[in-house]
Structure 1
């Protein structure tokens, strides 16, 4: 092909700028554009000049070194994009000349829109990175491959990634022919409608840019004018079929450069070395080095021309795809086209042989007849292998169709006996069974070898057996932190979520979207869970949530509402199981997991739901009223704060948009807001608290509101309203002490301030003061320094103005379970008469490789549910685990109390919960870790758990159904200590009553009594109880070795003393101040044996130690475990708050007799006696039958008969620790009657 441009004239690449628009034809000749860094556009059929003289270069494939595909219509290219370089620039395209380019593709790209493999828009390579090519080996086989005897091993390097491929000459030749055809097709116009529409868009833009360029043509230099005239001359001598052309000249101020339609004359073209056409069979051994050099040069130059490098045939040749160079996925791995048999991923269809009819020995193929005929459809897939997983992509649309994790069930085999084909490949894991078919036996063997090599190297941690038979290995050097109670735990989660960069994983038994992660909510709803997740989703962060799908007749946690409430295009929620389809009605997903960027993981006993947030004070009341401290130390309730709804200052806005805090005394407006709360949907209801950027309404002192007003506010009619007081007077007084300048600092609202340039400042009513948030935080009011910052003064002097527990978060589930969760702000119990039930729990945060292990469990569960429920829904993608090498931490996430530990993840998992193919496959590594830790303990075991259901090994009758061996192991360890005459202590803390709605002594308490029965049967009632067994072996006082306790607290409500148990929900074990097991698993069969509830936990061993004592001797105490145990002891004994009158108590040595008997057991006994004396609370050892219960409740407690004396006696209670009443109702049968609904449920549900 010969160029129409005179070779003696300066050459410029041209684009059609003349088109018939609205029936008119227009000619444009804009000025030459200056070289721009953006890629330029030429016309669809470039008129390049090629020499007909034979040379060492292949002229038919020549392209200017900057021509690439810009856009396409279907599978055909429409536009050509170009980028110019300096005339004397000899660097190859992409040869690293670009500075500041990323060395990897962002991890978030795997969630980007999928694109079919033959699309010209696929961008799989790292921008600005050169591809190095080197043929490192050659295998010559003349006997088996006559025409193509040489098999070349090619090493390619792209950025930090290096991989090898094996190709024969025929593969090079096939690629060359495909690219030649592609290059020729660019010279052929495709008169398609979509083609014309796309061209029209470019033409209109070009015309518009040319019009702007014409306005500046008078400012062009003489040289530029000459170039334009030259280009016009070339146009007049050109092809008559061409309508008009526009010379894209080089100018710095051409508007065309904004569209990228600029150009520059070039002196050289990108040329490919001539492809060696000599047949491979004629190449002698002596000529091989030359042939290798020719193929190297050809492929190197080919891969560094963007037009050919991004061609789908080239991508297939070098075995790359969209997951090849993604950061955090690890090495590039091996990839390639392969065929997969449909149905092989579904249990029951893999290896089908027509009910055994074809399992005859006469022919191996007979056993695969049914699979090939009925389920033998073969689909083309792009198979890839990464460090710890593998999967395949559907080339027709680029969607990832499967991600399979390496695990201990991994196996790969090939051959006719395993697959029924000589070129077949069978891959097995615990979750999947797939049959693949390769093009050649050599490729099949390559795949098998690479899979085995990866399993034995990168994935070794998951394919080889691990301690406790866990799915995850032991990790050393892990940063971990512990969190006691929901306050610090949820706060740390909120901070981590706020700094998420790529993805968030959440798995919960119950998730309440409207809970506040930080309290009191001084930032409005900024830290509300659903707001956090929606905020991150709006930033492009992907959020994946796994929820337990409850049996609605049995549980009212309403997971469907949670799913709908979190609806967002970047939030994906899956609920599991579908009970009827899975056949799972009694078991639950019980994990509590939050993972941020697969780098920070939170696990423990805390769901992100109602009732869980608490702190070490374990408050019983939350009336949301203002209280001021009096001289006597008592408190007085004054009023409530209400957030004013302002259309111009949204309460839930971002921190940056919060400008002022407004103090207003307009009661009618606040009542209007209260009325709107009931009328509007929840999304529009704002939290009634003081928050930056919001307006605080402090009503005047008024008479108590009417019942209608109370009803409007969504409160119960029998809830007395507290008197309201105006605190404006105090604020004004404090300000006036500094001077009269305060008045001049009164400003307008944010809405009015936006128009302040048109209207002067006006002195506002002194009842409505507006301060900037900076003034509120720093105390600079009216430009004056206040000794006590305003915000601190409000929070300290007027504590209690913001509720800690809003709506249904204020709960007492033993009195009334949750209901109507779609109305989150409506209370379920009367705050004025009923105390809430405090919640005690423990969680841990893991960083780095251990967090990746937690994420791996989540990914395995998500992918299993995706396969089961959303197989063909591309909106729910498969998840991929990140690499364990070079884990980078987020510097913005800082966690308190981080310590270096050794950590291993544990879990309870089975077929229904994790998608195992084999029904009998079970993982119970949590149970195994408990057994081993208890057995190896030398000094003490500390246990906090929601249940203690564990029987004697080999127990008979109904007790024989309990299979976990934790109680048996504790029994053996205590007996061993007794025989060795060594001091050994076991602390056990469980709730006083199970967490089920109902009266333990009434007709509604069957569920409560059922759990109580199994707890007591495991402890002291019957021959299987651990205390009974210890006495039988000669230990007269088992209390010297093991003690069972609970937690209880007290407070005042309406000036009357009240009490309530603290619900212990922790799943914690601490041994010897060195080992911690923390997670979601209870001590019962549901959590421990693996086949029932799914659970996750971590066993943590200290690597850092500090001086401690054990039984009076010096002892290296672990920093992580020791400090956690000491904090818990201080919390339970009431030692966290400073008290000058209290005798100092040392909790360093937990096993010495002075502490065990002199402090721990004595405090529990004294507190128990005081609670029984003052409150006559239940449960108690004084009630051994239902008759005793009725008599016990007839006598009025001291708190009713003599409140003043009760208040004095309450002051003697220290901490929360009480004894577990082991004789409570011991004369009654607590098992549910067989005729009740609880009695009809299988025993396994309770144990």
Structure 2
């Protein structure tokens, strides 16, 4: 195999000789030849395909708003190539929001625009089993195939390859083989969110009137969709028809003619790309005008959700009462005081009142997939759920960007997969080219993309791949370097391990009922805690996972078989049965296991039409942080599907800090990594509700995650208090009081406090701080949650769930 890889390396080098050999006079061809080949043929740390890059740069993004904004900026600056690989890709998602630029920042429009400029775009999509999954990759492919410079392949062809249960699960964007984005965030519906994790959207606006431009197809744009009954259009009065709001492109003039206090148009215009300091004065004039003139126009355009009548010609415009959708236009301005990076576009602050009813989530993007799974994706701007009655499912996720050598390693992985799929599917189709890695010798970074300071780190790209997913010639060859990195990082951790993940399915090998689970992450955590107990040293493990798996269905009813199946394996790994980590710790004498490991989830609350509502925040991150020094971030879940290499394909990066600042661990001074430490602190602040300004809560110090005053006095105490309030006010499910299906029914029959005593409930809810809650480890503990053998889910092999 190594000889084969070496030959491929030689072919790749020779095909790219114009770049690679421009330094041959200085170093000699053979030096470049063998040095490059050695990086990918000699054994690497964690048995990865890629070497450790000691002088790397990286940056992290928490939640989809910042990640998608950065990806959009990178795509916009692409000059030669764009690589995208996703488990699911929704062409019509808006990468920057609110979409005051019309469709300019819509993903399919960005890619078509770049293709027209001559950029070559290559997209790999997971080809799903349509009967089991409704992500409609065929539709995505058809929409993306809008230009000859865009090439899309779907994989695998299940019957031909013999792969029915495994998926390409990577989330990758590579621009010019110079900038690589990876993590947990697919470019698809439901992923765009920010630290506020709103349960409702801003409302509904007559967006066809706002656009001012008519797309060719009626349903091609959220700004001209008449298929959604949520976007209700009205006929404006005759004297109103001269007011047309045009969709903006960067560089275009502002969306409306701006009027001064005298009523005359302002001569000065504003451009979208004007630096903030240069436009400060004119923005003040705009704000004054927009607030005055904008309210009048919004009253003409914005209809309350569910409005049934339209205005006929000459009819007086009625007074419209917009339903309470929980947050005010001043929210963004207040958020500035929190001193964090907010990637919501600057223009939002100016048009906060003017566009008070604009949407963040159009059509299918406003989703609650536990309530309703995705269907009819070929109608992207038709709402999936009723916004007036159903809260959206907030989405918490993490991504990273690496540049230069590490980015080329990500590109090399993409290229290997692409070339293997071309050989398998379109060998004779010359319009689908083989891809070639660029030189590792020369980099030219675009400074306009590096608006945020990158951190100096050591980085290594990791993956989970095998012959079916990556085209290895040897059928038994497997790479599971992500798993190896997890084990080694946990084993070497000195003070704490912090984990955010969509799943926690990892059990003791060899125990009855656990034979199907092979990954050793839980075993590594168990051994590390036992070692800390023997050494009588403080060591913390904090795990944050979703309250429920992300499948449609009632967890306590007939439609929740899949939800219960995954819930079973999570709990079997955490607290139930001999193979679970809490049971094992108790058996070896760690009676106070909560001092070493705690399990949490995220939940939030709001109001929808003056009715109190709550919903879980779906944790989709695939993250491990250790000791404020090491980060593993990628697409891999903690389960066998992601970790053992033979199943789902995954990619990740292990990042170790090279730069440090003052920090503390268990009360002692200890350097804290700039990358890992600041990421961990940001996440703690988000979960504890410390990003928004609040005088009563800003005194909380998150710098030391290990010390008892924080771990027990702040983190676990806040989590329990929030949990108790939610259970009292909303009677939430899952809940530790619900131990059986019979108690589930009785629990639901009792009215919640928010309905019986709204005043008391409102007062109690004010004491909720942040989003952190306890994972209810006793939920349905008296029931068998594995699928019945007679059900469709019961016929599926157990390995699919684990």
Q: What TM-score do you get using the length of structure 1 for normalisation?
A: 0.55
Q: Residue 485 of structure 1 is aligned with which of 42, 63, 70?
A: 63
1:607 maps to what in 2? Answer: 186
Q: Aligned pair in 2 of structure 1 residues 1113, 322: CA closer, same or farther (>3 Å)?
A: closer
1:544 maps to what in 2? Answer: 122
Measure how far apart 1:644 and its partner are.
2.8
Alignment pair present for 1:1067 and 2:604: no
2:790 maps to what in 1? Answer: 1235
2:197 maps to what in 1? Answer: 618
Distance 2:171 2:465 in 1: 14
Distance 2:758 2:555 in 1: 26
Alignment pair present for 1:864 and 2:408: no
1:1182 maps to what in 2? Answer: 737
SS in 1 for 2:473: coil
Q: Which has the higher contact order (CA 8 A, sep 6+)?
A: 2
Q: Is the 8 A contact 1:1108 1:1148 kept in 2?
A: yes
Residues 1049-1088 of structure 1 mapped to structure 2, 5 A cutoff: 1049-1088=604-643
Distance 1:776 1:509 in 2: 33
Q: Residue 834 of structure 1 is aligned with which of 387, 390, 411?
A: 390
Q: Aligned pair in 2 of structure 1 residues 559, 1199: CA closer, same or farther (>3 Å)?
A: same
Distance 2:272 2:466 in 1: 58
Q: Is the 8 A contact 2:631 2:655 kept in 1?
A: yes
1:873 maps to what in 2? Answer: 429
Q: What root-mean-square deviation, in Å, do the aligned CA atoms of Structure 1 and Structure 2 show?
A: 3.0
1:562 maps to what in 2? Answer: 140
Alignment pair present for 1:851 and 2:374: no
Q: Is the 8 A contact 1:776 1:789 kept in 2?
A: no
Q: Is the 8 A contact 1:1181 1:1224 kept in 2?
A: yes
Measure how far apart 1:789 and its partner are.
7.4
Measure how far apart 1:785 and its partner are.
5.1
1:942 maps to what in 2? Answer: 498
Measure how far apart 1:458 and its partner are.
2.5
Alignment pair present for 1:1041 and 2:577: no
Distance 1:917 1:324 in 2: 24
Q: Aligned pair in 2 of structure 1 residues 829, 720: CA closer, same or farther (>3 Å)?
A: farther
Distance 2:673 2:45 in 1: 21
Q: Is the 8 A contact 2:260 2:285 kept in 1?
A: no
Q: Aligned pair in 2 of structure 1 residues 1221, 793: CA closer, same or farther (>3 Å)?
A: closer
Q: Residue 18 of structure 2 is aligned with which of 323, 326, 338?
A: 326
Measure how far apart 1:798 and its partner are.
4.2
Bigger Rg, which one: 1
Q: Aligned pair in 2 of structure 1 residues 324, 522: CA closer, same or farther (>3 Å)?
A: closer
Deviations 1:135-188 (A, max 9, x none): xxxxxxxxxxxxxxxxxxxxxxxxxxxxxxxxxxxxxxxxxxxxxxxxxxxxxx
Q: Residue 811 of structure 1 is aligned with which of 356, 364, 367?
A: 367
1:1134 maps to what in 2? Answer: 689
Q: Residue 719 of structure 2 is aligned with which of 1164, 1168, 1177?
A: 1164
Alignment pair present for 1:517 and 2:82: no
Q: Residue 535 of structure 1 is aligned with which of 93, 113, 128?
A: 113
Q: Aligned pair in 2 of structure 1 residues 735, 486: CA closer, same or farther (>3 Å)?
A: closer
Residues 657-1056 of structure 1 mapped to structure 2, 5 A cutoff: 680-683=217-220, 685=221, 687=223, 714-715=228-229, 738-739=261-262, 742-743=263-264, 745=265, 773-774=270-271, 778=279, 788=288, 790=290, 794-798=350-354, 800-956=356-512, 958-1056=513-611
SS in 2 for 1:1231: coil
Q: Aligned pair in 2 of structure 1 residues 792, 1155: CA closer, same or farther (>3 Å)?
A: closer
Distance 2:455 2:280 in 1: 37
Measure how far apart 1:776 and its partner are.
13
Distance 2:728 2:622 in 1: 31
Distance 1:332 1:968 in 2: 50
Q: Is the 8 A contact 1:944 1:1068 kept in 2?
A: yes
Q: Is the 8 A contact 1:325 1:332 kept in 2?
A: no
Measure how far apart 1:919 and its partner are.
1.2
Measure how far apart 1:1200 and its partner are.
1.4
Distance 1:1143 1:1128 in 2: 15
Deviations 1:396-416 (A, max 9, x none): xxxxxxxxxxxxxxxxxxxxx
Deviations 1:411-448 (A, max 9, x none): xxxxxxxxxxxxxxxxxxxxxxxxxxxxxxxxxxxxxx
Q: Is the 8 A contact 1:524 1:651 kept in 2?
A: no
Q: Is the 8 A contact 1:455 1:463 kept in 2?
A: no
Q: Aligned pair in 2 of structure 1 residues 887, 736: CA closer, same or farther (>3 Å)?
A: closer
Q: Is the 8 A contact 2:517 2:640 kept in 1?
A: yes
Distance 2:792 2:52 in 1: 45
Q: Residue 50 of structure 2 is aligned with which of 453, 472, 475?
A: 472
Residues 35-434 of structure 1 mapped to structure 2, 5 A cutoff: 323=15, 325-327=17-19
Residues 1207-1246 of structure 1 mapped to structure 2, 5 A cutoff: 1207-1246=762-801
1:222 maps to what in 2? Answer: none
Which deviates the most, 940-949 or 790-799?
790-799
Measure how far apart 1:799 and its partner are.
5.6
SS in 2 for 1:459: helix
Deviations 1:993-1031 (A, max 9, x none): 000111100111110000000000001100001000000
Measure how far apart 1:888 and its partner are.
1.7
Q: Aligned pair in 2 of structure 1 residues 735, 1234: CA closer, same or farther (>3 Å)?
A: closer
Q: Aligned pair in 2 of structure 1 residues 879, 720: CA closer, same or farther (>3 Å)?
A: closer
Distance 1:738 1:1240 in 2: 71
Measure how far apart 1:1201 and its partner are.
1.4
Q: Aligned pair in 2 of structure 1 residues 502, 586: CA closer, same or farther (>3 Å)?
A: same
2:175 maps to what in 1? Answer: 596
Distance 1:322 1:936 in 2: 42
SS in 1 for 2:537: coil
Measure how far apart 1:1141 and its partner are.
3.2
Q: Residue 209 of structure 2 is aligned with which of 633, 644, 652?
A: 644
Distance 1:955 1:826 in 2: 49
Measure how far apart 1:332 and its partner are.
7.2
Q: Aligned pair in 2 of structure 1 residues 737, 860: CA closer, same or farther (>3 Å)?
A: closer
SS in 1 for 2:122: strand
Query: 5+ residue gaps in structure 2?
Result: 1-10, 244-256, 291-346
Distance 1:736 1:320 in 2: 60
SS in 1 for 2:651: strand
Q: What TM-score do you get using the length of structure 2 for normalisation?
A: 0.84
Q: Is the 8 A contact 1:456 1:463 kept in 2?
A: no
Q: Is the 8 A contact 1:651 1:686 kept in 2?
A: no
Q: Aligned pair in 2 of structure 1 residues 467, 523: CA closer, same or farther (>3 Å)?
A: same
Measure how far apart 1:1042 and its partner are.
0.1
Measure how far apart 1:682 and its partner are.
2.9
Q: Residue 582 of structure 1 is aligned with which of 136, 151, 161?
A: 161
SS in 2 for 1:1214: coil
1:1153 maps to what in 2? Answer: 708
Distance 2:210 2:772 in 1: 44
Measure how far apart 1:457 and its partner are.
2.5
Distance 1:1176 1:322 in 2: 66
Query: 5+ residue gaps in structure 1?
Result: 1-318, 334-385, 388-449, 626-639, 653-676, 689-710, 729-733, 748-770
SS in 1 for 2:632: strand
Distance 1:516 1:1134 in 2: 27
SS in 1 for 2:460: strand
Q: Aligned pair in 2 of structure 1 residues 1040, 862: CA closer, same or farther (>3 Å)?
A: same
Q: Is the 8 A contact 1:780 1:789 kept in 2?
A: no
Distance 2:742 2:665 in 1: 46
Measure how far apart 1:1208 and its partner are.
1.6
